[in-house]
A = this chain, B = another copy of it.
Amino acid sequence: MKIKVLGIPFDSNSSFLRGPYLAPARIRLMATEGSANNYTEEGKEIIAGQDYQDLGDLSFSSQDPQKAYEQIKSAVSEAIADGSKLLSLGGDHSIAYPVIEAYALKYGPLHALQLDAHGDLYENFGDNPYSHASPFARLLEKGLLKSLTQVGIRTLTQHQREQAAKYKVNIIEMKDFTMDFISALERPLYISLDIDVLDPAFAPGISHYEPGGMSSRQLLDILLAIKLPIIGADLVEYNPIRDYHDMTAMVAFKLMKELIAKMK
């Protein structure tokens, strides 16, 4: 099974700050700067060109949300056309909409696991249908998800609770967190990992600081506990503008290794 990594440096759908478009290049740098090795926690070595193919970054000639949506969907469709699995490096969370849609076009509706501080279920956020506050609303409206499990959430508004009820989203809020959801996950499983699921203490390099998140250890333990094969994943919302000495870049680099190992 071939695994590919694609940088999607697009953050114009962010509602507060920009910065995530700088993420893919910074995450790759961690693999070469020499403060860590290329092994996962379970002892698999993950080497570019050998264990995965790095497709480099998409290049966006315009910041127009709809054009970006089309371009990302098309690039992902092409990348997975040969049956490869893809890890997409954001960019903000808005990229999950075209990425997962491309997957659904090939494989039919997916089971998705979203690790996130936010529901991203707004029907309308600032009149931008592609907002990073809405990707899962879009996917659910189009029937592209067989199920959606959200873990780590701690910012639900009344509107988002209603959206969740309407679309039967399974939400494990951070205040009620246990590992029990894992046994209920189903295939084909896609993981959408917003790095702000972590408490800001562990990942200062994000745009929205929402206290009360999980620790890096808890997040790694979730990934290690998932025994189902995963069909694809994205890693989004790392914002280098707010990072401290690449602390969050190292978190993203480690998560990248673990997600790739999970696809093998």
Q: Which residues of A contact B (CB under 8 A)?
A: 14-19, 22, 25-26, 29, 32-37, 39, 41-43, 45, 62-64, 126-128, 154-158, 161, 173-175, 199-202, 204, 207-217, 220-221, 224, 241-242, 244-247, 250-251, 254
* Contact A254–B212 (Cβ < 8 Å): yes
Contact B199 A215 (CB under 8 A): yes
Q: How far is the CA of A37 from the CA of B17 in the complex (A)?
A: 15
**CB–CB A254/B211 < 8 A:** yes
Chain B nearest CB: distance from A26 CB in Å? 8
Task: Please name all residues of chain B whose beta carbon is closer than 8 Å to the beta carbon of A173 when the two chains form the complex.
Answer: 41
Asked whether A39 and B211 contact (CB < 8 A) given A201-B202, A245-B204, A250-B200, the answer is: no
Interface contact A36-B201, CB-CB below 8 Å: no
Given contacts A211-B250, A224-B175, is CB(A156)–CB(B63) below 8 Å? no
- Give the docked Cα–Cα distance between A33 and B19 (Å): 10
Asked if B216 and A201 make an inter-chain contact with CB atoms under 8 angstroms apart, the answer reads yes
| Complex CA distance for A161 and B35, rounded to whole angstroms | 19
Find out whether the CB atom of A43 lies under 8 angstroms from the CB atom of B161. Answer: yes
Given contacts A175-B220, A202-B199, A220-B175, contact A156 B16 (CB under 8 A): no
Q: Are A241 and B242 in contact (CB under 8 A)?
A: yes
Query: Is the CB–CB distance between A211 and B204 below 8 Å?
Result: no
